[in-house]
Amino acid sequence: MQRRANADGDRGIGGLARVAADSSGHPSPTDSLPQRLPMTYLSRRIKLSDASIRRLEPPAPGQREVVYWDATEPGFGIRLRRPTERARINASFILQRDLHGKAVKVTIGRYGPWTVDQARKRARELKVEMDRGENPNERQRRERTQARRAEQQGLTLADAVTLHLENMVAKNRSPVSIGHMENETEKYLADQMPRPLLDLDGQACRDVHKRLTKAHGIYIANRVLRHVRAAWNTAARVHDHVPERNPTKAVVFHQEHERDNPIAWDELPAWWAAVLAMRNPVLRDLQLFYLFTGLRRNDGKSVRWEHLDFDAGTVHRPNPKGGKAKAFTVPVCSYVLDLLRRRREDNRLLFGDDGGFVFPSRNRKGETTCVRDGREQRYDKKGKKLPSLPSPHRLRHTFATAGHEAYLRELDLMILMNHSRPKVRGNVTRGYVHPSLDHLRCCAEKVATFLLEKAGAEATIHNLYARSSVG
């Protein structure tokens, strides 16, 4: 029998020799274990010690676990568990005791990090707790729940928004997009930002959307709730306790109608006259620059002189919508080049030092920056506000419509406007087409000619600005 037990040990694990090392990385007391006890000597109740544990029989094939009880401390034992046939054996100290007529088994800790003496002492402490009628397992569950709840309560909507803004910065998103989210959440969600994120359920989102709709209109309400949706999704990817289901799914977003229709061609002459009558020449030129380039608001107003190449007749935008990865350079028409030359001379007269900005302004501190808004607010004799000029985005629509009606190819217009190329299934050739600057410059000239004709401004342009060739 002795020889048979030793033979079994040769193909076993040498006791618990493969129990994991302790958490410090040092070999656990189960390393380099001697042969197991003979089958005739082995029993389910032994005096637990490092030496006896090293010689314990592992679970038999097909058996997931086996428990050995301590002969000196009733209810205290060690459990050997093999989760799967090829898995390593886990050894954990346990305590089993009757509580309210039912056997309750409590796990104390893993053998290795816990010594036999430490585990035996802890078992005695748990017995005292159970003698008072308390279930250690239920207490541990309560503690875990409280800890998880404390973590959840600590994560607020403001934290989620900050997390999403940090991701936007890391992905080089447009500063305008980042600024919009930061400013609008602070302005319209000031009462919600300190709120625990998980308290923000579907009904709460519906209430916020309804309140914003009533106070600020459908577009603000929709946009702010989209900010909340984005912040929640980012938090759910980072924090496991945040559910993937977004509470903004309960919101019925308003149907939005196109607000930036192009200027009608029969209204363009009146727009042209209103722009030329502007008292601020910087804002006047910025309006014309928007119309003839189709640039977005921030891309147009923030142009610096180093972004312009008069010899090549191009403008470069280093950080447009979508971030630096979307930087682009496009040619501009000769009318815009003449306008920019005139603007450079006027800046010297008006500002002396324009700070490198093509369209400069001075803030309240006297510092030179780019203009904040390209439109000029005017009043009648009674002090009543007059209708303001169309937004830069509406001028962008006007540029795109002019390009379409001037028979530009769709791809050429997309490049001039820095629109992403749509992926067309089966159309591999489109990805190989890269129009030259000379070709795109001709496209820009076509759009300019079309707009000048529709504005009835061809004679005016010759009077105000001398037309010139590139360079």
CATH code of the domain in which 84 resides: 3.30.160.390
Q: Please check whether residue 280 is in contact with residue 354, taking contact to mean a CB–CB distance below 8 angstroms.
A: no
Of 102, 135, 152, the position where a domain reaches its end is 152
Of 152, 171, 197, the position where a domain reaches its end is 152
According to the model, what pLDDT value does residue 82 have? 82
According to the model, what pLDDT value does residue 161 have? 94
Instruction: Look up residue 300 and give its two tokens.
Output: 């147009």
According to the model, what pLDDT value does residue 376 have? 66
121 is a domain residue: yes
Q: Please check whether residue 189 is in contact with residue 228, taking contact to mean a CB–CB distance below 8 angstroms.
A: yes
Q: Where are the alpha helices (DSSP H) in 315-418?
A: 334-350, 392-405, 410-416
Q: Are residues 287 and 217 in the same domain?
A: no
The torsion angles phi and psi of 139, rounded to 5 degrees, stand at -65, -45
259 is a domain residue: no
352 is a domain residue: yes
According to the model, what pLDDT value does residue 28 have? 45
According to the model, what pLDDT value does residue 432 have? 86
169 is a domain residue: yes
Q: Are residues 75 and 133 in the same domain?
A: yes
Q: Are residues 439 and 386 in the same domain?
A: yes
According to the model, what pLDDT value does residue 203 have? 94
According to the model, what pLDDT value does residue 206 have? 95
Helices 437-455 and 334-350, axial angle in degrees (round to 10): 80
pTM: 0.56
256 is a domain residue: no
Q: Are residues 217 and 289 in the same domain?
A: no
285 is a domain residue: yes
| Average pLDDT by stretches of 10, the chain with 471 residues | 37 40 43 38 72 86 86 92 78 92 91 92 92 89 70 80 92 84 94 89 94 94 96 90 89 82 92 90 94 94 95 93 86 95 93 92 86 70 71 93 95 91 70 91 96 79 40 36
Q: Are residues 100 and 162 in the same domain?
A: no
Number of domains in the chain: 3
| Encoded amino acid at 120, one letter | R
Q: Please check whether residue 117 is in contact with residue 34, taking contact to mean a CB–CB distance below 8 angstroms.
A: no
According to the model, what pLDDT value does residue 29 have? 43
According to the model, what pLDDT value does residue 25 have? 45
Task: Quickly tell me which residue has 């569950």 as its tokens.
Answer: 141
CATH code of the domain in which 194 resides: 1.10.150.130
Q: Are residues 57 and 126 in the same domain?
A: yes
37 is a domain residue: yes
- Domain extent for 310: 268-464
Of 128, 152, 176, the position where a domain reaches its end is 152
According to the model, what pLDDT value does residue 410 have? 92
CATH code of the domain in which 360 resides: 1.10.443
According to the model, what pLDDT value does residue 425 have? 65
92 is a domain residue: yes
HSE-CB for 426 with a 13 A CA cutoff? 0
Q: Are residues 459 and 346 in the same domain?
A: yes
Between CA 468 and CA 471 the distance in angstroms is 8
For residue 21, the tally of other CB atoms under 10 A from its CB is 14
Between CA 360 and CA 327 the distance in angstroms is 22
Q: What is the dihedral of CA 52, 58, 60, 62, to 10 degrees?
A: 150
Q: Are residues 357 and 232 in the same domain?
A: no
Q: Are residues 293 and 409 in the same domain?
A: yes
Rg of the chain in Å (alpha carbons): 37
- Residue 268, judged by CB atoms within 10 A of its CB (0-12, 13-18, 19+), counts as buried
Q: Are residues 277 and 402 in the same domain?
A: yes
According to the model, what pLDDT value does residue 26 have? 44
Q: Are residues 411 and 274 in the same domain?
A: yes
Q: Are residues 137 and 63 in the same domain?
A: yes
